[in-house]
Amino acid sequence: MQYLSSFDPKNLSVLLRLDLDLPFEKGKFDTLRMEDSIDTLCYLFRKKARHVTVIAHRGHTVKATKEFSLEPIAKLLYDLLLKQKSFQKIERTQLEDWLDICENVRFDPREEKNDPKFAKELAKGHDVFVNDAFATSHRSHTSIVGIPKLLPTVFGYQFEREVEVMTKLIEKPKRPFIFVLGGAKLDTKLSLLEKISDLVDVILLGGKLADEAKAQGYKNRRMIIAELTPDGLDVSPKSVEQFERFIAEAKTLVWNGPMGKFEEKNHMAGTKAVADAIAKTTGYRVIGGGDTEAAISALKISPKMFSFVSSGGGAMLHYLAYRTLPAIEAAEGSKVAK
């Protein structure tokens, strides 16, 4: 795997995959994921890449709608870049000439089908592909695994940071290593859980996952499954206390997924207690996933309270379970960028 930091893009036309699927709450975008990509864009500009074309997605829809358009996010990205030191001496029109931001790739149904013809259309006219969309790199989609078959491929700065953190969790975790998992869809996470359980000391399972696990009779010797409140929309106070005790002892901790329906004030208590407990620990704390980010935002907990905030939930789980991602495997088969 080759990173952008060791690659010279001078005079090249760059196709850049970013994660711009920004959470939208109360009429405002959470720009954290966008900010993650700034280092990559600044590097490409400083190193005199001839032109950059950004491709990204929003949502899971394949229907072109204003609600999932990247147009408002493109405006935010231009605004953010013009505030950076690297771009302070150029006009907005110059920036827009250098940087094209395409419409949502998932508006084309071929994106999620890994369509070779669509990959050719995206790659046409470009010299190199830079993937800085870690959060989507567990998906075998055209813009993730199709393009590396056609273009030399390197990974951006955020992707590099993500892999460094995941590698540290796998190879050098301080113990005890506690894994806190919430959310839903046990069936899709079961195979990941089995592999991750070999990596960690204890898994604390909350959210709807806990209910699903009990309903299926699922057991794991390293897993503690939370009790839920009578309405099933939060973890019980008893389980919160139990989780807090384990979290307080953690030297390494990973958290993905809320403990309940945190969007509703009456069902926020479990997620808040777990988030507060994690933020207070002195161990190495990694959190990840869109719902987890949304939860700490709703709870007004600064991302700086954690050692690292991963841009991806599913991608983080996949990497910890399999030590690789479809995007990485696809790039290994691409031409080596010089």
Q: What is the domain-level CATH number for residue 240?
A: 3.40.50.1260
Report pLDDT for 61: 76
Residues 55-84 have pLDDT tens digits of 999 998 778 999 999 999 999 999 999 999
Place 30 in a pLDDT band, splitting at 50, 70 and 90: confident
Distance CA 230, CA 266 (A): 13
| pLDDT value at residue 161 | 97
Number of domains in the chain: 2
- Rounded Cα distance between 323 and 157, Å, is 19
Which pLDDT band holds residue 330 (cuts at 50, 70, 90)? very high
In this structure, is residue 337 part of a structural domain?
no
d(CA 330, CA 217): 37
Provide the 10 A C-beta neighbour count for residue 105: 23
Number of Cβ atoms within 10 Å of the Cβ of 305: 16
Q: 88-102 burial by CB neighbour count: b if 16+ within 10 A, else e?
A: eeeeeeeeeebbebe
Residue carrying the six token digits 């709703």: 298
Q: Is the pLDDT of residue 214 over 70?
A: yes
pLDDT at 139: 96
Same domain, 130 and 258: no
Do 311 and 295 fall within a single domain?
yes
Per-residue model confidence (pLDDT) at position 229? 95
Q: Does residue 152 share a domain with residue 8?
A: yes
DSSP 218-246: ---TTEEEPPB-TTSSSB-HHHHHHHHHH
* 17 and 136 part of one domain: yes
Instruction: Provide the token pair at 60.
Output: 């899971």
**What CA–CA distance (Å, rounded) separates 281 from 239?**
18
- Structural domain includes residue 24: yes
Structure-model confidence comparison of residues 17 and 265, the more confident one: 17
Instruction: State pTM to two decimals.
Output: 0.94
Is residue 71 included in any domain, yes or no?
yes
Q: How many CA atoms does the CB half-sphere of 267 hold within 13 Å?
A: 18
Is residue 247 over pLDDT 90?
yes
Burial class (CB in 10 A: 0-12, 13-18, 19+), 106: buried
Torsion sign, CA atoms 136, 142, 146, 152: negative
CA gap 130, 148 in Å, rounded: 9
Query: How far does Cα 128 stand from its chain's mean position?
Result: 23
Co-location of 116 and 202 in the same domain: no
Residues 146 and 62 occupy one common structural domain: yes
Residue 338: inside a domain? no
In a shared domain, residues 229 and 166: yes
Using one digit for the tens of pLDDT, what is the confidence trace for 165-200? 999 999 989 999 999 999 888 888 888 988 999 999
323's torsion region: left (phi>0), alpha (psi -120 to 50) or beta? left
How long, in residues, is the chain? 338
| Mean residue pLDDT across the chain | 94
Please tell me whether residues 189 and 153 are part of one structural domain. Answer: no
257 in the same domain as 184: yes
What 244-247 contacts at long range (C-beta under 8 Å, 24+ apart), as own/partner pairs, is: 244/273, 244/274, 244/277, 246/176, 246/178, 246/202, 246/204, 247/178, 247/180, 247/204, 247/274, 247/277, 247/278, 247/281
- Residue 217, domain member (yes or no): yes
| 200/121 Cα distance (integer angstroms) | 43
The secondary structure element, H or E, covering residue 156 is: none
Query: What is the tens place of the pLDDT at every residue in 93-147?
Result: 999 999 999 999 999 999 999 999 999 999 999 999 999 999 999 999 999 999 9
State whether 154 and 170 are in the same domain: no
Q: Which residues are CB-contacts of 129 (< 8 A; sequence separation ≥ 6)?
A: 14, 15, 16, 17, 123, 147, 148, 150, 151, 152, 153, 154, 334
Give 336's pLDDT tier (boundaries 50, 70, 90): low
- Encoding tokens for residue 321? 């379970």
Q: What is the pLDDT of residue 335?
A: 66
Same domain, yes or no, for 259 and 120?
A: no
Contact 239, 248 (CB under 8 A): no
| φ/ψ of residue 118, rounded to 5 | -65, -40
Domain with 109, as residue range(s), is 4-160+324-332
- Give percent above pLDDT 90 in the chain: 83
Condensed to tens digits (0 to 9), the pLDDT of residues 277-328 reads 999 999 999 999 888 988 998 899 999 999 999 999 999 999 999 999 999 9
Can you give the pLDDT at residue 104?
98
What pLDDT is recorded for position 12? 98
**Domain assignment present for 232:** yes
User: Sign (positive/negative) of CA torsion 127, 48, 158, 91?
Assistant: negative
Q: Does 262 map to a domain?
A: yes
Q: Based on the fold, state whether residues 37 and 104 are members of the same structural domain.
A: yes
